[in-house]
């Protein structure tokens, strides 16, 4: 289900990520774990924002056999935020994966009426993840 391209030394628990993904889609997902510098370049190229970020999502064209899309996550962010908030790197990676996956599925917290936040909360509860994603993204 997940095609992992880990360009860093971050340990990735694919089992939890595959469990999350399989509750929402049966399509393949490309997951790229990358450096702060590379995600900054990707953010600049695709969003015209010259700054690093935590997670980016790139949905693919919806064709019957096509993958759902790509999720790019910054390993530095995973390491820094998990330490800052006192939870595991697996948890932080899973939280960012949830956020990116929901974007691939068409959710957009910048324009919806809270639907994405509700779905994040549901998945965080279902997979017993820290609630920090909801707290830090409200408002």
How would residue 65 be classed by pLDDT, with cut points 50, 70 and 90?
A: confident
Q: Give the separation between CA 86 and CA 70, rounded to whole angstroms.
A: 28
Cβ burial of 92 (10 Å; 0-12, 13-18, 19+) is: buried
Average pLDDT across the chain, whole number: 93
Compute CA 8 distance to the chain's CA centroid, rounded to the nearest angstrom. Answer: 16
Question: Which range of residues forms the domain containing residue 122?
Answer: 2-137
Question: How many structural domains are present in the chain?
Answer: 1
Could you tell me the CATH number of the domain that includes residue 90? 3.40.390.30
- pLDDT of 11-63, one tens digit each? 999 999 999 999 999 999 999 999 999 999 999 999 999 999 999 999 998 77
15 or 131, greater pLDDT: 15
CA distance 135 to 112: 18
- pLDDT (average), residues 83-98: 96
pTM of the model: 0.93
């Amino acid at each position: 289900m997940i095609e992992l391209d880990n360009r860093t030394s971050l340990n990735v628990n694919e089992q939890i990520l595959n469990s999350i993904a399989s509750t929402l889609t049966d399509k393949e997902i490309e997951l790229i774990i990358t450096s702060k510098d590379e995600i900054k370049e990707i953010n600049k190229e695709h969003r015209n924002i010259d700054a690093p970020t935590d997670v980016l999502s790139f949905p693919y064209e919806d064709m019957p056999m096509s993958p759902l899309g790509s999720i790019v996550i910054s390993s530095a962010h995973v390491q820094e935020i998990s330490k800052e908030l006192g939870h595991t790197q697996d948890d932080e990676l899973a939280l960012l994966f949830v956020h990116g996956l929901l974007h691939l599925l068409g959710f957009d917290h910048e324009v919806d009426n809270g639907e994405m936040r509700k779905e994040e909360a549901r998945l965080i509860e279902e997979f017993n993840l820290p609630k920090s994603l909801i707290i830090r993204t409200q408002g």
